[in-house]
Every structure is written in structure tokens, then in C-alpha cells.
Amino acid sequence: MKIRLALLFLIISSLYLHADEGMWIPLLLEKYTITDMQEKGFKLSAEDIYSINQASLKDAIVVFGRGCTGEVVSDEGLLFTNHHCGYGYIQSHSSVEKDYLKNGFWAMDRSMELPNENISATFLIRIEDVTKAVLEGLEKDANEKEIQKLIQANINNLVENATAESHYRAVVKPFYYGNEYYMFVYEVFNDVRLVGAPPEAIGNYGKDFDNWMWPRHTGDFSVFRIYADDKNQPADYSPDNVPYKPKKYLPISIKGIEENDFTMVMGYPGSTTQFYTSDAVELYVNKSYPKKIALRDQRLNIMDSFMKEDDNVRIQYAAKFRRISNAWKKWQGIIMGVNKTSAIEIKIEEEKKFTEWVNEDASRNEKYGTVLDDLKKQYADLEKYIHVYDYAGEALMTNELMSFVVSLNSFILRNEDKSIDDKIRARDEFITYTESFFKDYYMPIDVNIYSAMLQSFKKDIHSDFHPDLYGKIQKKFKNDFDKYAEATYSHSKFVDLNSVLEMLKHYPQNENKLFKSVTKDALFADYQSILSVYSNSVNKQYHEINDEINKNYKIYVKALREMNEGKSTMYPDANFTMRVAYGEVEGYNPIDAVNYDFETHLSGIIEKYKKGFEDYIIPEKLLELYNNKDFGKYADAEGDMPVCFVASNHTSGGNSGSPVLNAEGELIGLNFDRNWEGTMSDIYYDKSICRNIVVDVRYVLFVIDKFAGAGYLIEEMELVDF
């Protein structure tokens, strides 16, 4: 695609100049962005956002679970996050008799709030720049292994000192590919209970048809509560625990929004790769992603066919299906966005500018002259292995029962030298895991997927990388993959919950016998066959090349920052640490002659509902509220019920559930998605089309109050309507 040079220059020159693009470290707002934020309408200070001396907005934001964000909205520890972030926990409490996914769940008093296993709410205590301490003692002529060993030792000392004699946890993370390091100190609460969740027809309205799309009409929220001991300290679940008293909670604005209003997102974006070169984008977007999409197509189609036939299977696989389909559709959006914005061509031009800058100075040329050529060669080397690596992860290693058998083997080996009492304790924990696994396991799905994935791997991957199990399939089964998969499962001793529990009941007395059963199982044999090729011919080579790539990115990013010094500030890639992003409420123009408004309404839900699609079913109560125009104090000035809006905040995975705040620091919505074209913002951000999608907090409150009848929760919150 040809791009007009004037336009291209404008895009390139603005790439690092817009402060409202990016994900900023809260500690550095005063230094880099607060002035620009205030010029755009923000009415608070950097200290109001992040402070270690007083309560600040950071004290109301949590890491929710393992990969989302949440926010505290009352002085009784009430917490909002997305429905899809709470989905697995909602599903774990669900059954055909109590289908909380389909019908929703609401605790009408605190005694009804449901405890959850393996869930936490993690508060940030402080951030510290520890670059100097991490790099202390490094010798210029040290090899990479020595460098990493010393860096890790320094990090361990920092973490140990930061958490000594406290219940805090700490982590040190590299920024700018190791040019800087920051330490994050956290307080973790493990008693987090489910308070409420709308039915899936609200919380996941539009389902996969609307996922990553705009216009959107999804009430993507769920409600939890953090509990603490009687001293307001973290504690494991106990009926004696009490609601947590936060340092800060967010006031909630029901004033409404207007186009061009200032917006700010605080949360934990997971991962971005904005410094990728054109060769990297070409490899992933045009070669890796399309193949992974095709593999997930097969898996999703198989799961969907069984889920439609049986409600129990639908509940069992709901969370798994959603997890698989999320990245599947996102990759498609990235491809679309990169092509639409000509991101690869833009990066090529940017690299030409970089090369010109390097060649202007002899000392620069000595330090940086070969870095782009080195990266180009390394990505060419990586291509040989990336498809095998992808297919192992997306095809052969997706077998659920195989993963369980491998986990059982690891459990035995991990505990073989422990005392009898420790083995019994470990067994009881594994029994809990086993029951959880089989609760959401349906063997026919697993068998069909295994057959399909074995066939795809054989067809698409060069025979040099084929595990020896393919010889067995050819010799004994005449390449009939369906028969092979069925035979493999039918001979396994681990397909039935009761049989597995019976074996575990006699552990550790039967330890050797159990170990032999595992290692002789056909699925474990397949795993060993796959692992042999993967470990010896793929994994080591793939990671060695990636290590070299990352070393060169450290040099490249250092050079880019030097090139832009005094012109602009380059924000670091997301790495699941707290960041601040800001922008404004605004629609966008995705394609020629199409202009999207910035907000949607309940009337749009009704319009979609009338089309009769399965993904657009709505509860009768919601339809009744709409027909009666019973929106309470949550309607907009025109009397309609707002549902979602879009803004130009730079977000990523991990920002799900993040609070979206107005200029006064009040909650106006919950971030839950991006527009399809804008998913490429992980690689390349273009403000003209990149949008984050937000459920309007007025719709959240409306559903809690008018739909669920849980108005007592509203009374806990601080609502601002002026």
C-alpha cells in the first residue's frame, strides 16, 4: 500500500509526541504528564492520583484475581469489576439447579455473599525506582549469564528488604527492556466474596457476536466484597472476618457524560509491544496469528456443537469457551487494524528515520549501527520455530485430560521425599483440584479436539518436528485419528472422577503403583512424545533467539529514547503494573462513510433483541423496565437509559474492570473492551480509531437497583449528581 509522504511524516513525527497516548507510571505523573492532563480538563493533582503520604486514587484500585482490575466503591469494601473477570467464580457456584450464569446472582444481605477459592484483591502500597540498585555491581565485560545472575541477586535483596517484618509482597519489574527497573510493594487480601452478578443476558449481552465490537450494549460488571480480620488486615476466609475498611473508595458520578469530556483509566494493563520492529509485526500479524486463529476455529466449533446440545455441558464449558474465543477474535482485530493503519509501512519509515539519525554521528553508529539488521536476522531465524511453538501451545498441548495426568505425575514427584503427614495434606489439596477439574470436564469434547489437533499438526508442521506418536497412529490405526483418540481415552485409567478419587484415597500407601499407572497411561506417553520433540528441537532454540531479540530491543529502545530526548517522552510497554491512561469521550470513523457515536442506550438493546439472534436474548424484567421507562434517577437528560460509551484511553488486556474516571476523579464507568480495529493498539496506537469500551456506571447502578432489587447496595455508595 502506498502512503502519501506528507501524511506518513505527520504520523511518524507524532508517534511519540502525544502525551495522551500511552500508559504512564503513576509515580512519574508530576514529571511527565500532569500538566498536559490538567490542560485537557483534569481538576486534580498528581498527588491525588498517587501518594504514599495520604490517601489517593491508587488506594481504591486493585488487581482483581490474576489478570483483571477492580475498584473499591464503598467504605465497606464493596468492589466493582467486569462480569467477564468474575465469570469463572460465578460459574464455580453454578449448577443446572442454581444457574447463576443464566439467571444472575444477588446476595440480599451479607450472610448470602459467597466465598471464593483462589481469588484475591491486591492493593498497591508504593512504587520505587530501583534501577541503580538493580544494576549495581555490573561489569561492562560480563557475559549475559553473569549479568542476569547479578541482577536477580540484587532484585532478591531488594524484595527481601522491602517486605521484611511485614505481610507485604513486592515485585521488581524491568521497563524499557531492562533500561530501568521499578519495585512495586503490595498488600494482598484473599477473602473476596461474590455479592452480585447480572444474568449473562446482561453481563455478556451480545456474547461472541459483539465481543471486541462497537456499538456495544453489554452490562459487563460484577460485584464483590473484600473482607479482613478485626484489625482490618488480610486474612484467609473466616466467617468471623468483617468488611474491609479502605483508605480510599471512589465516589460515583451519575451526572452523565458529554462528547469530548476528559477521561482517565487507572488499572493494570497486561502487555504491549509498541517497540516491535516492522519485521516483528510482519511475522506475528501476517504469519503467526492467522494460523493460531485457524486452530481456535476448530476447537471453538467442536465445543459449541456439544454445548448447544446439553445445558450441563454449556455451563461446564462456558468459561473455557469464552477464554479461548477472546484471543481468537482479538487476533483478527489486530490483523484488521494493522492493515487499516498501514502500521508495518509506518514502522519501516520510522526505522529509516532511526537509521539516518544513527548514521549522522560516528559514536552513535558504533553503539547502534547494527541493531536493526541484527533484529531482522533474528526474526528470520525465529520464523523457523515459531509455527511449531504456536502449534504445540494451540494444538497438541490443549488436551485437558493429558494436562490433568501430567499434573498428577508432577504431584507425585513433587511430594516423593516429604513426610507421610505432608503427603496426606498434599493429597487432600490435589483431591480438591481433581474434583474441580472433573466438575467442568466433558470427555467427548476433549476426544474430538484431540483428534482434530493431531490432524492439523501433522498437516501443517514439517515432518522434522513430528513426535514419534505419529508413527504409532500410522502403523496401528492407518492414520485414522478419530479411532486413535477414542482408543487412547478408552484405555486411560483417569477418565472417571470416582476411579481417580479411589486411587488418590490410597495415596501415599500406593505411591509406586499410582506412579506406574500414570507413566504407563497412553495420554502420558503421548505427552512424553510431544515433549521430547518440543524440548529438544523447538523450545530451547525458540527461547535462545528470543533472548537475543530482547537484548537487541534493550539497545534499540535506549537509542530511541536518546533520539527523542527533549522532543517527547516515550512511555514504557505495559507489564501488568499500575498505569494511568487519559483521553476523552469520543466516537470514531472505522471505515469510509461510517461514523460511530460515542454512547449507546437501552433502546439499542431492544433494537438488537427484536432481530431474534441467540446472542441478543434479554430478560423479561429488563424488557418490562424499558417498556415502563422505569429508569429511576439513572436516565439521561433525554429520558433514555445509557448503557456504554467509548473513549480514547490507551488500554490493554488487564485493564478489564478498570475504573474510568472523570475530571474530578469520580467513577463514570468500567472499562471492559476495545473496538475490534483498535485491538492493534498493543502493537501500534492510532488515536483516530483506537477506542476503549466502557459500561456506563449509570447502567450498572440501574441494573443493581431497578433490575436486581438490591438497592441496599446503592445506599453504601457515594453518588454525585451535581
Q: Is 220 a catalytic residue?
A: yes
Using an 8 Å Cβ cutoff, are 669 and 647 in contact?
Answer: no
Q: Is 217 a catalytic residue?
A: no
What is the 3-state composition of the chain as percent helix, strand, coil, each rounded to the nearest 5? 50, 15, 35
Is 202 in the same domain as 94? Answer: yes
At residue 722, the pLDDT reads 82
pLDDT in tens, 311-365: 999 989 988 998 999 899 999 999 999 999 999 999 999 999 999 999 999 999 9
Is 377 in the same domain as 520? Answer: yes
Residue 659 to residue 263: CA distance in whole angstroms: 10
CA distances from 269 to 71, 281, 393, 688, 718 (A): 15, 20, 23, 21, 27
Is 431 in the same domain as 480? Answer: yes
Instruction: Provide the total of helices (H) and of strands (E) in the chain, helices listed first.
Output: 29, 19
DSSP 381-412: HHHHHHHHHHHHHHTGGG-HHHHHHHHHHHHH
Is 64 in the same domain as 203? Answer: yes
The pLDDT of residue 17 is above 70: no
Is 204 in the same domain as 293? Answer: no
136-154 burial: b if 16+ Cβ within 10 Å, else e: eeeeeeeeeeeeeebbeeb
Banded pLDDT at 610 (limits 50, 70, 90): confident
At residue 417, the pLDDT reads 94
Banded pLDDT at 277 (limits 50, 70, 90): very high
Is 535 in the same domain as 586? Answer: no
Is 400 in the same domain as 335? Answer: yes
Is the residue at 248 inside a domain? yes
Residue 332 to residue 690: CA distance in whole angstroms: 15
CATH of the domain at 54: 2.40.10.120
Which residue has 483428534 as its cell numbers?
451
C-alpha cell at 442: 466433558
Least confident of 16-25, 166-175, 239-248: 16-25
* Average pLDDT for 649-657: 97
At residue 643, the pLDDT reads 98
Is the residue at 146 inside a domain? no
Is the residue at 405 inside a domain? yes
Is the residue at 16 inside a domain? yes
At residue 4, the pLDDT reads 42
Q: Is 656 a catalytic residue?
A: yes
pLDDT in tens, 454-465: 999 999 999 999
The residue out of 559, 587, 621 marking a domain boundary is: 559
At residue 184, the pLDDT reads 98
* Average pLDDT for 57-84: 97
At residue 615, the pLDDT reads 87
Per-residue three-class SS string for 427-483 = HHHHHHHHHHHHHCCCHHHHHHHHHHHHHHHHHHCCHHHCCCHHHHHHHHHCCCHHH
Is 611 in the same domain as 698? Answer: yes
Is 521 in the same domain as 629? Answer: no
- Give the residues across from 123 on adjacent strands: 62, 187
At residue 5, the pLDDT reads 43
The pLDDT of residue 574 is above 50: yes
Is 342 in the same domain as 435? Answer: yes
Q: How many domains does the chain divide into?
A: 2
Is the residue at 587 inside a domain? yes
CA-based nearest residue to 675, from 573, 614, 594, 609: 594
* Average pLDDT for 208-236: 96
At residue 409, the pLDDT reads 96
Is 466 in the same domain as 531? Answer: yes
Domain extent at residue 461: 278-559
pLDDT in tens, 683-693: 999 999 999 99
The pLDDT of residue 13 is above 90: no
Options 220, 390, 521, 705, the catalytic residue: 220
Is the residue at 374 inside a domain? yes
Is the residue at 46 inside a domain? yes
Options 83, 84, 217, 387, the catalytic residue: 84
At residue 20, the pLDDT reads 64
The residue out of 529, 559, 589 marking a domain boundary is: 559
At residue 209, the pLDDT reads 87
CA-based nearest residue to 223, from 71, 342, 29, 426: 71
Is the residue at 470 inside a domain? yes
DSSP 536-602: IIIIHHHHHHHHHHHHHHHHHHHHHHHHTTTT--PPPPP-SS-EEEEEEB--B--STT--B-SEEEH
The residue out of 559, 594, 623 marking a domain boundary is: 559
The pLDDT of residue 613 is above 90: no
Is 208 in the same domain as 90? Answer: yes
The pLDDT of residue 7 is above 70: no
pLDDT in tens, 654-685: 999 999 999 999 999 999 999 999 999 999 99
CA-based nearest residue to 231, from 135, 290, 167: 167
Options 74, 656, 658, 681, the catalytic residue: 656
Banded pLDDT at 592 (limits 50, 70, 90): confident
pTM of the model: 0.88
